[in-house]
Amino acid sequence: MNIDEQVELLMQGTEYGDEDLKQAMTAELRERLLLAEKEGRPLRVYCGYDPTSTDLHLGHTISMRKLRQFQDLGHEVTFLIGNYTALVGDPSDKNKARPILTQEQVAANATTYADQAFRLLDRAKTKVRYNGEWLSELSLVDLIRLGQNFTVQQFLARDNFANRLEKGEPIFLHETFYALMQGYDAVAMQTDIQVGGTDQLFNIIVAGRKLQEALGQKPLVGVICGILPGTDGVQRMSKSTGNVIPINTTAEDMYGKVMSVPDAAMGKYYRLVTRFTPAEIAAIEKGVADGSTHPRDAKMKLAREIASIFYGEAA
């Protein structure tokens, strides 16, 4: 696979909300791939997962699928368990503060995460790390020095914080620490590429890149994945809305839940959670559009593909 094909594959399903930013990240990704090839070294790639519950669902696997693509291209992947960031709780997609978990709750939740992830990732090629390794070592002086790279205005300009301010709802000081902590993860691991969802755009593009640059590292490339709609086809997949397709279920149940997804959401599912190439997906969509493929057949193909990822081709 040449560099252009690699870039097309790795940028498939990405969303930035700004075409200029997407073009910039695409160009930087291409540059990093070329440099890695020239230097004969793998890129350092990671995605972080906060163990705020015990089970992962299909929405979580979007970033894991992207990590697997990097693995298959020969790059170094770290599955980062955010045992320290989980103590704060990511405010990125929330309109109110998350409940603060205890260290015991976080540890209990984290025990199943890696094993579930290895249903997609290559166990032999995956580093599993915990961000408590370095975040627990930071002193108050360290935090002050890291914090001086950001303004309060930058944090308050985020949509969820701005909306809460407008409604007179509280924003707790500890919530502003989250992006700083996640940004430092990238510094600690000297990250080349960080994978995350669109809800992580600020944490990755602003916090991570800014801290790396301030501390003398080359700013990472953010590969920002789209958000998977749930079985209702509208709201993001979330346990709280009851529209999830869990990983820990039966092949039959997974197949049935995918078949229940509205036709209009099929394109997102194909792009975000399957192994099909951009060209193969384009051909499937063309068939549905011109009537040569019935939407139900396309959905059955989708359901078989997703079930086989987790349960094998015989599923």
Of 24 and 227, more confident: 24
pLDDT in tens, 108-155: 777 788 888 898 899 999 999 999 999 999 999 999 999 999 988 888
**238 assigned to some structural domain:** no
- Tell me the pLDDT band of 264, cut-offs 50, 70 and 90: very high
From residue 76, alpha-carbon distances to 122, 189, 283 in Å are: 11, 11, 32
Please compute the mean of the pLDDT values over residues 181-193 and round it to a whole number: 96
**65 assigned to some structural domain:** yes
Domain boundary among 195, 225, 255: 225
pLDDT in tens, 222-260: 999 998 999 999 998 987 788 999 988 899 999 999 999
- Tell me the pLDDT band of 43, cut-offs 50, 70 and 90: very high
Tell me: do 132 and 257 sit in the same domain.
no
Tell me: do 191 and 60 sit in the same domain.
yes
Alpha helix stretches (DSSP H) within the chain: 3-11, 19-39, 61-72, 85-88, 103-110, 113-117, 132-135, 140-147, 152-156, 159-166, 177-188, 201, 209-214, 251-259, 266-273, 278-290, 295-311
pLDDT over 90 (residue 87): no
Please compute the mean of the pLDDT values over residues 6-20 and round it to a whole number: 93
Q: How far apart are CA 303 and CA 73, in angstroms?
A: 26
**296 assigned to some structural domain:** yes
Tell me: do 272 and 208 sit in the same domain.
no
Q: Which structural domain, as residue segments, surrounds residue 263?
A: 244-311
Which of 98, 65, 104, 99 lies closest to 83, judged by CA?
A: 104
Tell me: do 303 and 265 sit in the same domain.
yes
- Tell me the pLDDT band of 92, cut-offs 50, 70 and 90: low
Single pTM value for the model:
0.84
Tell me: do 145 and 294 sit in the same domain.
no
**231 assigned to some structural domain:** no
Tell me: do 23 and 112 sit in the same domain.
yes
| Torsion sign, CA atoms 274, 276, 279, 282 | negative
**230 assigned to some structural domain:** no
Domain boundary among 172, 191, 225: 225
Tell me: do 75 and 194 sit in the same domain.
yes
pLDDT over 60 (residue 163): yes
The CATH number assigned to the domain holding 51 equals: 3.40.50.620
Q: CA torsion, points 80, 82, 85, 91, in degrees to nearest 10?
A: 80
**239 assigned to some structural domain:** no
Tell me: do 122 and 216 sit in the same domain.
yes
Tell me: do 149 and 286 sit in the same domain.
no
Tell me: do 297 and 209 sit in the same domain.
no
In 3-state terms the chain splits into helix, strand, coil percentages (rounded to 5) of 55, 10, 35
The CATH number assigned to the domain holding 281 equals: 1.10.240.10
Tell me: do 145 and 15 sit in the same domain.
yes
pLDDT over 70, % of the chain: 96
- Tell me the pLDDT band of 210, cut-offs 50, 70 and 90: very high
Written as six digits, the tokens of 206 are 């602003």
Total count of domains within the chain: 2
Domain boundary among 196, 225, 254: 225
Tell me: do 165 and 98 sit in the same domain.
yes
